[in-house]
Amino acid sequence: MSDDPKLDVRNDPPQRRHELILQNYHALESGKGFELVNDHDPKPLWYQFDAEFKNQFTWDYLEQGPTVWRVRIGKPAA
């Protein structure tokens, strides 16, 4: 079991989800991460991270549907 904080966005309005996720990412210390819980594959978010934070994030699927997706998003240690 991970000590990473969980961010469950399933009950948040879709238009607010990326903002919440990015706020959590920006607040991370180097070497830390959080677990994103979502109701669909957040692949579009991965593309956004890849465009904006190339080589500055980690992305590990913990669960891949069909109803819940869990992804650990982290900031690599400096």
- Structural domain count of the chain: 1
Q: Average pLDDT in the 1-7 region?
A: 84
- State pTM to two decimals: 0.93
For residue 26, the enclosing domain spans 6-74
In sign, the C-alpha dihedral spanning 52, 49, 3, 20 is positive
Residue 1 pLDDT > 90, yes or no? no
Residue 9 pLDDT > 60, yes or no? yes
Q: What CATH number does the domain containing 53 carry?
A: 3.30.110.40
**What pLDDT, in 10s, does the model give residues 26-67?**
999 999 999 999 999 999 999 999 999 999 999 999 999 999
Residue 1: inside a domain, yes or no?
Answer: no
pLDDT band at 3 (very low <50, low <70, confident <90, very high): confident
Residue 31: inside a domain, yes or no?
Answer: yes
pLDDT of residue 2: 64
Residue 40: inside a domain, yes or no?
Answer: yes
